[in-house]
């Protein structure tokens, strides 16, 4: 077991000596969890094939699940990819730094262990001062999936990281809670019409404003095979069995109330992921508001934190209200579906 250091860092003015200490771990082949605007990442040297294997081992992650490579400047990108398509350049100018990951054809400098055996590499530039300073000080691009045990809810704060990875990595940089709360959008530009492989903080509407028509990977639908290797695995799951309830708000509340009553009569403990608009309507279960339906960013930023709260409460079942798929709501529902193992009840 490793002696994991937890180091608090000011996200507004990251202390140089703390960043340098973390960067030394990266340079020498170790792993550091660090905050980004989306979720906390588990970072290591993206150019070291042995480090990628360490990341997979710490997370318990399948090795055909590609790692996203994080950079701090466009000059780094030239060293890593064979070409930068015009559409990619336009997107980078608009959305980098930010929660958008773009797929490129990789140069040989990036080992296949980082890309899950693919000739392409997923790259983004995070919009977080701690992340950018760490990448810059390390002197190498940093491969970083979410800093959690594979399949568990992604970490929105350092405490979540410690819960899963303490003793398995060298350091956790604690920069406070994340803001977006769900992982970056992953975009494939290899087709005539760009394809979103994973919805995230940059919305489909945002991308269409720049590119025109943008498609969703058909594999994002329940029961379909995804194009992105990482999307075929179970993700974000709480310990309790979870069901997403979709329909009008009134029907959602009525159905969840009835199901909760049935389960509680059998001695089960039920968690209800409500919204600000419905929390007061529930009279049963352990009710937590995930955010405001009219401001879905409040929901995305709280989503994984609430799932972990239900774990700590020890609930046996969870019911989550579905929301509109407009904007970042698409990413929220994608995460809810996967957390529930696509157990969806339409009412």
Give the C-alpha separation, 238 to 307, whole Å. Answer: 6
Check the annotation: does 255 bind a ligand.
no
Model pLDDT, residue 106: 98
Q: What is the DSSP string of 159-171?
A: HHHHHHHTTTSSE
Residues 120 and 191 sit within 8 Å (Cβ to Cβ): no
How far CA 241 is from CA of 331, 337, 344, in Å, comes to 21, 12, 12
Please name each of the domains of the chain with its CATH number.
Answer: 5-232 (3.90.870.10), 241-346 (3.40.50.11030)
Residue 203's pLDDT is what? Answer: 98
pTM (2 d.p.): 0.95
Query: Is residue 289 a known part of a binding site?
Result: no
Q: Is residue 86 annotated as involved in ligand binding?
A: no
Predicted pLDDT at 226: 59
- Is 120 part of any known ligand binding site? yes
Q: Is 113 annotated as a binding residue?
A: no
- Cα gap 266→303, rounded to integer Å: 28
Q: Is 124 annotated as a binding residue?
A: yes
The whole-number pLDDT of residue 27 equals 98
pLDDT in single tens digits along all 347 residues of the chain = 999 999 999 999 999 999 999 999 999 999 999 999 999 999 999 999 999 999 999 999 877 789 999 999 999 999 999 999 999 999 999 999 999 999 999 999 999 999 999 999 999 999 999 999 999 999 999 999 999 999 999 999 999 999 999 999 999 999 999 999 999 999 999 999 999 999 999 999 999 999 999 999 998 887 665 565 455 555 789 999 999 999 999 999 999 999 999 999 999 999 999 999 999 999 999 999 999 999 999 999 999 999 999 999 999 999 999 999 999 999 999 999 999 999 999 99
In this structure, the strands spanning 120-124 and 317-321 are: unpaired
pLDDT of residue 288: 98
3-state secondary structure of 11: coil
Q: What is the pLDDT of residue 227?
A: 60
Task: Name the 3-class secondary structure at 227.
Answer: coil
Say if residue 70 carries a ligand binding annotation: yes
* The predicted structure's pLDDT at residue 235: 78
38 is in an annotated binding site: yes
Is residue 312 a known part of a binding site? no
Q: Which residue has the tokens 């975009």?
A: 187
Q: What pLDDT score does 61 carry?
A: 82
Beta bridge partners of 195: 188, 215
Instruction: Determine if residue 61 is labeled as part of a ligand binding site.
Output: yes
Q: Determine whether the annotation assigns residue 146 to a binding site.
A: yes
195-198 and 185-188 strand pairing: antiparallel
Q: Say if residues 277 and 249 touch (Cβ distance below 8 Å).
A: yes
């Amino acid at each position: 077991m490793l002696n994991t250091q937890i180091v608090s860092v000011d996200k507004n003015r990251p202390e140089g000596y703390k960043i340098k200490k973390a960067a030394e771990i990266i340079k020498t082949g170790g792993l550091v969890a660090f905050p980004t605007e989306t979720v906390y990442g588990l970072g290591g040297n993206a150019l070291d094939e042995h480090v990628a294997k360490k990341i997979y081992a710490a997370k318990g992650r399948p090795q055909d699940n590609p790692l996203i490579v994080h950079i701090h400047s466009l000059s780094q990108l030239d060293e890593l990819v064979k070409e930068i398509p015009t559409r990619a350049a336009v997107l980078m100018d608009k959305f980098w730094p930010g929660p958008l990951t773009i797929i490129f054809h990789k140069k040989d400098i990036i080992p296949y262990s980082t890309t899950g055996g693919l000739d392409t590499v997923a790259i983004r530039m995070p919009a977080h001062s701690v992340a950018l300073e760490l990448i810059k000080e390390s002197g190498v691009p940093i491969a970083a999936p979410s800093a959690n045990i594979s399949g568990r809810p992604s970490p929105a704060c350092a405490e979540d990281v410690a819960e899963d990875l303490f003793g398995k990595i060298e350091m956790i940089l604690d920069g406070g809670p994340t803001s977006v709360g769900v992982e970056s959008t992953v975009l494939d530009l290899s087709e005539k019409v760009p394809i979103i492989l994973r919805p995230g903080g940059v919305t489909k509407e945002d991308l269409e404003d720049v590119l025109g028509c943008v498609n969703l990977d058909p594999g994002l639908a329940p029961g379909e095979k995804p194009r992105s290797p990482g999307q075929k695995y179970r993700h974000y799951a709480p310990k309790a069995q979870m069901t997403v309830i979709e329909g009008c708000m009134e029907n959602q509340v009525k159905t969840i109330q009835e199901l909760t009553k049935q389960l509680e009569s059998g001695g089960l403990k039920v968690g209800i992921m409500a919204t600000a608009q419905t929390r007061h309507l529930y009279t049963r279960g352990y009710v937590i508001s995930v955010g405001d339906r009219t401001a879905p960013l409040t929901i995305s930023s709280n989503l994984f934190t609430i799932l972990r709260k239900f774990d700590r409460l020890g609930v046996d079942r969870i019911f989550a209200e579905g929301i509109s798929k407009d904007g970042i709501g698409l990413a929220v529902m994608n995460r809810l579906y996967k957390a529930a193992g696509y157990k969806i009840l339409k009412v």
